[in-house]
Amino acid sequence: MNFELSQDHRVLQDAVRDFVEKEIKPIAAQIDEEHQIPDTLVRKMGEMGFMGSYLPEQYGGAGLDMLSYAIVVEEVSKACGSSGVLISAHTSLCCGPIYTFGTEEQKKKWLPALNSGDIIGCFLLTEPDAGSDAGAIATTYRREGDEFVLNGSKIFITNGGYRGTGVVFATSDKSLKHKGVSAFIIDLRSHGVEILKNEKKLGIRGSYTTAFALDNVRIPAENLLGQEGQGFKIAMDTLNGGRIGIASQALGIAEGAFERALAYSKERKQFGAPICDLQAIQFKLADMWAKIEISKLMTYKAAWLKDNKKNYTMESAMCKMLASEAATFVSHQAIQIHGGYGFICDYEVERMYRDAKITEIYEGTNEVQRVVISKLLLS
């Protein structure tokens, strides 16, 4: 067993770190304060290949692997959780299912603009009464000639404010529950698609979290993703892979908070010595680093399993659960190490604490992850 990154992965990691240091870190606080990622940064991330890292070059992707994708999201999230989740949701929740379940014609039509970052993608599953219970979605579709007509609403849609390309889920008959759900590719500039609001949030404030109304939205029949009735399977498969992205985001947030806490503990002096000389601080740093390393091993393992086409359902649930809880714990401890300064925006760890919390919730709460893990164990 070799736990070292390959030379190619180390080169990628260095390149992403250099980009983050120059382009993202200096404006991370601004992104949080203004509730928006500058279009110039989105464009630059696209030019770097961040938006389609593990998609094949023939569809405009960077042609890398899932571990490379995890590294990209991790490194970006060290400086800015909002930018990390933009990449994660775009790549794994929109580009991913189109690549996995789309026809050759669909891949050629939709993926190049997504992989370049010219169009930002999203995943329209969640509704006011259908979150973790994806089989309870109430958005309906019906067939009319060469079109499908959608009616309903969607909430908590990451990247929705860009009005780009989405993968949307609807049911032909609510009484069929998950068996009636189908998936469609949608242009969110289509007539009948209305943004109700972009949510104001505790954290990841630069990331759009959007509520939509769909009023007689007509979608060409050729935009059906997979087969009718296959939507639930597509959603679950997509979320399974998406958890690696969320784990990577959480891992990056934890590492960013740790780096700042470690540096501060060496600089801050009390009682005539740096506070890192105090055993109480040393214990905190040890606990923080241990949780980070455990999360990293599990996240990288899940990515490796997916790359090697092995079953990774349990590992994706575990890495998402472990990394997100580590992010909340580490960022909390980082604030404690900073003391009163940790409550001040200038020291960044308060933003990381706010950003970390969402990683325990989306892509299924950690209670959902525990259900997944326990069911696999019991089976």
Q: Active-site residue numbers?
A: 363
Tokens 């909002």 appear where?
Answer: 82
Please give the single-letter amino acid code of residue 284.
K
DSSP string, 167-227: EEEEES-GGGGGGGEEEEEEETTSTTEEEEEE---SS-TTS-EEEEEEEEEEEEGGGEESS
Compute how many other C-beta atoms are within 10 angstroms of the C-beta atom of residue 180.
20
Total residue count of the chain as it appears in this document? 379
| Residues ≥6 apart with Cβ < 8 Å to 240 | 312, 313, 316
For residues 277 and 256, give the distance between their C-alpha atoms in angstroms, rounded to a whole number.
Answer: 22
Report yes or no: 123 and 89 within 8 Å, Cβ to Cβ: yes
Bridge partners (DSSP) of residue 141 are 150
Report yes or no: 122 and 89 within 8 Å, Cβ to Cβ: yes
Helix count and strand count (H, E) for the chain: 12, 10
